[in-house]
Amino acid sequence: MSDTEDPLAGLYQAVLEELGEDPGRDGLLKTPDRAASALRFFTEGYQQDPVKILNAALFDVDYDEMVIVKDVDFYSLCEHHMVPFFGRVHVAYIPNGKVLGLSKIPRLVTMFARRLQVQERMTTQIAATLEELLEPKGVGVICEASHLCMRMRGVEQQNSVAITSSLRGEFERDSKTRAEFLQLIRHRNVTSI
């Protein structure tokens, strides 16, 4: 039996038993507790509020060119099989009198990723939140991910990548803005200067 009071640990113990394992054997003694703790961490985004994450870092700045934070690493759990999908998100916006502290974009990505998700919804949630709270001239979000539900089971495709996008405002209306965004996220990262 699990040492903690976390009800998830008891459920994981029942899963081990259902699989034909002995939760009392040496290698599995703490597994229900560790698995419960891990799942709580992987889904901590449910306890976070995007308004609280972003509002403390909105600044009035007279800047109206594109701001991009690219290659934001993330991992999430697919809501269909509860196995990981992971990849990178590229986020851009065109300010309309307000800019956002740069570290807040990865925090927002992580918050939405740490929920049971589908990639399409996560992509639009990031864009919609930035659009609502920043009120920018435009927002662009592109997500590239590998899904273990496609690699480990089902079609077992080892090299497939899913790409989703949500383009709003200037990114949707103006082909030049969209092309600039796509061009800039293709550039190699700047390393130490």
Q: What residues are labeled active site? A: 78-81, 119, 147, 149
For residue 38, give the nearest of 15, 10, 58, 8 by alpha carbon.
8
How far from 186 is each of 71, 166, 191, CA to CA, in Å?
A: 10, 17, 15
State the helix-helix crossing angle for 119-134 and 104-113, rounded to 10 degrees: 140
CB 168 within 8 Å of CB 140 = yes
CB 142 within 8 Å of CB 124 = no
d(CA 107, CA 56): 13
φ/ψ of residue 69, rounded to 5: -120, 115
Running DSSP on this structure, what letter comes out for residue 134? H
Q: Pairing between strand 67-78 and 58-60?
A: unpaired
Q: How many residues in the chain?
A: 193
